[in-house]
Each structure stands twice: as C-alpha cells, then as structure tokens.
A and B are shown apart, each in its own frame.
Chain A
Amino acid sequence: MTSSDSLLRAPSGAITHVGDAARRRRRVEETAARVFRGWGYEEVLLPLFDHAEVFARGGGRWSERSSYRFTEGGDLLALRADFTALAARAAVTRLPREAKRLFYRGEVVRRPGRGLGPSAFREVGVEHFAAGTGADLEVLLVALEVLERLGVDGFVFTLGHAGFPLGLLDEALPEGSDRDERRAEALRGLWRRDPSRVRAALGGRAGPLVDALELFGGPGVLEEAGNRPLPDGAREAVERLGAIVRVLEDLELADRFRFDLAELRGFDYYTGLIFEVHAPGAGQEIGGGGRYNDLLANFGDPRPAVGFSLSVDRIAGILPESSDADHGATESVTRGPDTRSGLAERFRAARAARASGAAVRFEPSS
C-alpha cells in the first residue's frame, strides 16, 4: 500500500462528519449539555482509554467481545467502549461523595460487528447517584426535556423494571446443578422475546414468564400484572412503576410513556427501572438507561445509581430540517486591499463587529 492509499481510504468505521452532519451532532450534544447543567449535572471529561478491567467491572455487554484492547507496559488497556463504567469509577475515586449528578459526552469505540457500519458512536448521558422514585423520575424528565428541546417528533419512552422479569425468573428456576445454564438461556429468550426459548429453559414452570412477554402497552398493563399472583420482587416492581406513572399522569406527560414488563435491554445488570426511547425514522433505540444499584459497589463504594445515555448519531439523523438556526447568522463582510493599512483597518472593523457579537467573514482582497 502506498501512503496516498491510506490518506484517501479511511478504515471501515472511521467516519468524518462534515457540514450539516457535523452541525446536527454538535447541536444534539450542546442542547443536551445545557439541559443537563440546567438540572444540576456536572460534566466529567473521561479518558479515551483505561484498564480493560474497568470496563469489565462496569458490567456492560460491550466489555469483552467488542472493545479494542491493547497492552502497554504489561497492562491490558481498552479504548473507551462505554461511559458508564468510567463515570462510576470517577465517582468513586475522584469525586466527593456529595457529587450526585454527572454528565458526559463524547465517543465510544467498539469493534465492528458483522456487516454493521460505523464502530464509533457519539453519546451523551447522565449518572445520578441517588435512590428512590424521585431520582428515577428526574432522569426520565431530563432525557425527555433534551428530546423536547431538540424538537424530536413522536418519541416514545418504554418503561420496565428489572425486578419483574427477574423476580418471575428466580421463582421459575428449578434447583439443580444446571440452574445457571437455565437462567442464562431464559434470559436469552427474554431478550429476544422468544417464548420457545423461555419454555425450553424453564419447562413446565415457564408459564408466568412467557405470559410476561405479552405485558406491554399503556399503563393498563401494570394493573393487569398486579392482578396476577406474583412473587414479592415482581410485585414491588409493579408498584414502583405505578408510583412513577401516577406522577407522570399528574404532570400530563403520560402519553409519552409506554410499559413493557419483560424488557431487560439485553443486559442483566439493571436492578430497578429500565427504559428505552424510540422515535419514528430511527430503526434502533435513540436512548435508554435505568437503575443499576450494584454498579458503584463494583468499584468499592456501594451507592445507588440511575442513568441513561442518548445516541447523538441516531438523534442527529432524525432532527427536523428547519431547526438549524445556528447556521447562517448575521455576517459583516469586510473587503479591501491586502496592504498593511488595509489589513489593519479591516481587522479592526472585524474585531469591533465580533466584540458586538456579530458574525464576520474575512474575504480575500478585492
């Protein structure tokens, strides 16, 4: 390969955004950052790489298979594949315990899967280190405000609670040496909404969990679930979601929210609220999150946590056209000769215009 080859051909997944694509992404990030600050979240600037173990402790599914890992001085390092783990570690090791609200923005890098294009994703997100329905509602409303301010059309939040499917699963699992294997297979069935896999894993005791796959829709599903015989964990999950929806109703926001009592988002580290956000035009979720009360314990400081991330790229892809207000603002064009006095005069005028807040464009000599 000649050097001009590597200049012209970017490796698969290495993407440069220009023009409108770049402006849209920045607008999503900047809008989100303003909203996050407005709710008292403090930005943390997290490293681009860290010990691979940090990501593994974060529990995300990206840690092992999908991160770019390399060794340096005998340490196994990984490129940032996930923000949550880094934010949790920063909270435990770098921040005072009073710091309860963090936000981050930037790229994560993952090894490309089969056929899937870009392997770098832009994300913005928050972590809120607090327990309770109030904290759950706060992060939901912060995410909602970002989407409202961006003018995203028709977005829908789907809420679930890890305690519901996991509570039913624990009760359905027979004792025995293959319990872990059955649990993993049942979880795969839940993630794929595949009743046959759940039945294969749990046999005759699969019924309540298979039925849970049908519990999605409006707030009515909470009532429907509550009328069933449930183990304590699952009942508590329904009650907690009920407490959330009642406040959303009082705020007249309930029409943005749906429920799905079987959703686990393909992870099993959530311990409470789970949510995903979808919007027309985006084939995949534009954001999601939940409560993971065991996360900080993995870094040595057991504290509750709830958070979410939004996909900057996917949201940028569905932003309404008209809202690109920050481009093409007032311009004061300066023209003149490129002599010493001409340049000095034009730059003096340009600096004065800038000082008054106007946009300028310095044109070449006439």
Chain B
Amino acid sequence: MDPPLVAALPTGRLLRAVTGLLDRAGVPLPEGSADRRLRLRAGGMEVLFAKDGDVPIYVEHGVADFGVVGRDILEEQPAHIYEPLDLGVGRCRMVVARPVARPLPEPPLRVATKYPSVTARHFGARGVPIELIRLSGAIELAPAMDLADAVVDLVETGATLRDNGLVEEETLFESTARVVVNRASFRLRGSALQGWLQRLETATEEG
C-alpha cells in the first residue's frame, strides 16, 4: 500500500485564502490548525505547514509531493518543480511604489524590498542602476525614514502603501496561489496526484 500523499501548505495569509477551497476539495483543516501543529492528517493526506518561502523547497526535495504557494515566492526563488494549477485565490500584485511628490533622485535608486531577485531582475532588465536594500517586513517604513527612494512589494489592496504616502508606479506581475508538484511524485504517484489536482481544480471553479 502506498504511503499517504504529503502536502506542504503555507502558513499565514495565503493559508486563510485557500482554506475554503481545500475544504471543498475534501481537505478540511481545523480552525487555527497551522498555529498549533506543524503536521496533521486531513482528507487522507499528511499535511505539513511551512513558511511560504519554504514550501517550494519541501516540494523540490520530494519531502512533500505537492504544495500550495504564491507566485511571488516562485518568482523570487525559482525551483525545479511543476506548477500545474493556478488556484486563483490570494490575489495580490507585485508593485514598484514611490513616495508621492518626491522627485526622482540621482541614480542609483535606493530600492527596499523583501524580494531582492525580483527587484534586481526588474530594474536590471531596464538598465536602471539600483542600490538594493533587503528588508524583512514593514517595507513602507523605508521611504518614510528616507532609507529608500522606492519599494518593491506585494500588495493586496494597496491601502497600506497609500496610508504611508506611497503611490504605485508599476505592476510587475499578479500573484495568486499556485499548486506546485514534485517532479518525481508526478511520475510515481501520478494517479493519486491527478485525482487531487482534479478536485482542487473543481473546487476552484466552484469558488
């Protein structure tokens, strides 16, 4: 008998966004389960909860057969995994934002972000020299305190940016929750995985 499939789910905002969908697909997660436990059984699967950025790592190494992660993470740290399904939830935008009415400074532009690869790629492709300031959170603070001239960040409504006197200048891409699949599991656990992908897709369409 094959062992149960292992799913890696993100904690935090994205987990809340996909909980309803997972429930419809037959993976009921008890309220607040990610806060209390790192692993649990649900819907005949083993579910493990990982930081968003760690989900592709668990999946790439085959510790998890599949997982759910935002496109923002996949753009920041590409992994050798499959991304067969867009769940369409947890929709956000990766944007460049700058302080309202502050003139463009002399280059290099100081850019604060949690997404250094995405940021370097974006400005590199345009030939704009930047000084990259890597932060862990509360990115809006950086221009307010004149640590940075611009930010690259993931926003849902953009309200936080506006509240902090920033205006969105450009959208790099839209980010939604994606199902990612380990390449070996895709071959060796194909039928079980396809079943889950099908149920998740159906649940997406119902949502």
Residues of A in contact with B (beta carbons under 8 Å apart):
114-116, 154, 156, 158, 192-197, 213, 216-217, 258, 266, 276, 278-280, 282-285
Contact = CB atoms under 8 A, between A and B. Distances in A.
Interface stretch (B101-109, B141-149, B180-188): B180-188
Interface string B173-204: 00000100111111110100000000000000
B80 A278 contact: no
A195 B88 CA distance: 13
Contacts of B185: 283
Contacts, number: 55
B84 A195 contact: yes
B8 interface: no
A115 B57 contact: yes
Most B CB atoms within 10 A — which of A114, A192, A276, A279?
Answer: A192
6 tightest A-B CB contacts, nearest first: A283-B62, A193-B82, A194-B83, A192-B83, A278-B187, A278-B184
B77 A114 contact: yes
Contacts of B184: 278, 282-285
Contact of A156 (B61, B86, B182, B187): B187
Most A CB atoms within 10 A — which of B57, B83, B183, B184?
Answer: B184
A196 to B, nearest CB: 5
A192 B82 contact: yes
B139 interface: no
B14 interface: no
A116 B79 CA distance: 10
A23 to B, nearest CB: 24
A283 B182 contact: yes
5 contacts: A115-B57, A116-B60, A195-B84, A196-B86, A280-B188
B63 interface: yes
A266 B57 contact: no
B130 to A, nearest CB: 20
A113 to B, nearest CB: 9
Contacts of B60: 116, 283-284
Contacts of A195: 84
B190 A284 contact: no
A289 B72 CA distance: 31
A284 B84 contact: no
B177 to A, nearest CB: 12
A109 B187 CA distance: 27
Contact of B187 (A115, A213, A276): A276
Interface string B78-97: 00111110100000000000
Contacts of A213: 84
Given A115-B57, A283-B63, A284-B183, A278 B81 contact: no
A158 B190 CA distance: 12
Nearest to A189: B83
B161 to A, nearest CB: 26
Most A CB atoms within 10 A — which of B60, B82, B84, B187?
Answer: B187
Given A193-B82, A195-B84, A284 B62 contact: yes
Contacts of A192: 81-83
Most A CB atoms within 10 A — which of B57, B62, B83?
Answer: B83
A195 B77 CA distance: 20
